[in-house]
Chain A
Amino acid sequence: QMQLVQSGAELRKPGSSVKLSCKASGGTLTRYGLNWVRRAPGQGLEWMGGILPIFGTAIYAHKFQGRVTSIADESTNTAYMEVSSLRSEDTAVYYCATKYSNDAFDLWGQGTMVYVSS
């Protein structure tokens, strides 16, 4: 059974960057790909982008292009997402998710809370 385990909570200052991780076990990221979704306080779920299966191509929502970078490390079966130029509005829970058994995000990590505050 595949599982996704994310890194712990982060506190960052505005203008800085944060790099989040999502480690997969019981399945390979190259086969399933990996997506990033966030939930800001009082806001809804927001698809940010991810890594496509097989070739590992990164794709981003228009809103995050140029500020977010997603990569996958095949050797450790871990995906990373770096968000730069952080602002207070980036305070959110960040989830990694994949399409494991169905053609939808049916497997999620536990989430990583990112606080952006001066």
Chain B
Amino acid sequence: QSALTQPASVSGSPGQSITISCTGTSNDVGNYNLVAWYQEHPGKAPKLMIYEASKRPSGVSDRFSGSKSGYTASLTISGLQAEDEGDYYCCSYAGNSAYVFGTGTKVTVL
């Protein structure tokens, strides 16, 4: 169960859009639509932003959207705001009740 691959960092100016990729294998992302995205701020528990690749939980801004194609899932943040700064992790179901997280991406708002 190797970690899913994410870019180490992504940055953008306020109002811009950014996209974070998450690449897996046929054992996880490529075989299941159960990809989730989490936002993490220092000292706080992770927060679910996207589940089942493209669904948004209640209360999450519609500036956050997700997609998946083949072995790669993506999280797009539109209209970037200062509060969006933080670490973002993808997570995929990997079969047999197991999960695997991505390597994490630090988002910086310039």
Contact = CB atoms under 8 A, between A and B. Distances in A.
B57 A44 contact: no
A47 B91 contact: yes
B74 to A, nearest CB: 16
Interface of A: 35, 37, 39, 44-47, 52, 59, 61-63, 95, 97, 101-106, 108-111
Contacts of B104: 44-45
Q: How large is the interface on B (under 10, 10 to 19, 20 to 34, 35 or more residues)?
A: 20 to 34
Given A45-B38, A45-B91, A59-B96, A106 B57 contact: yes
A45 B101 contact: yes
A110 B45 contact: yes
A102 B57 contact: yes
Contacts of A109: 45
A35 B99 contact: yes
Nearest to B51: A104
Contacts of A39: 40
Contacts of B87: 44
A104 B98 contact: no
B100 interface: yes
A37 B3 CA distance: 13
B34 A103 contact: yes
A62 B27 CA distance: 14
Given A102-B51, A105-B48, A106-B51, A52 B97 contact: yes
5 contacts: A44-B87, A44-B89, A45-B46, A47-B99, A102-B48
Given A103-B51, A103-B52, 19 more contacts: A44-B103, A44-B104, A45-B89, A45-B91, A47-B98, A47-B99, A47-B101, A52-B97, A62-B1, A95-B46, A97-B46, A101-B58, A104-B34, A104-B36, A104-B48, A105-B36, A105-B48, A106-B48, A108-B46
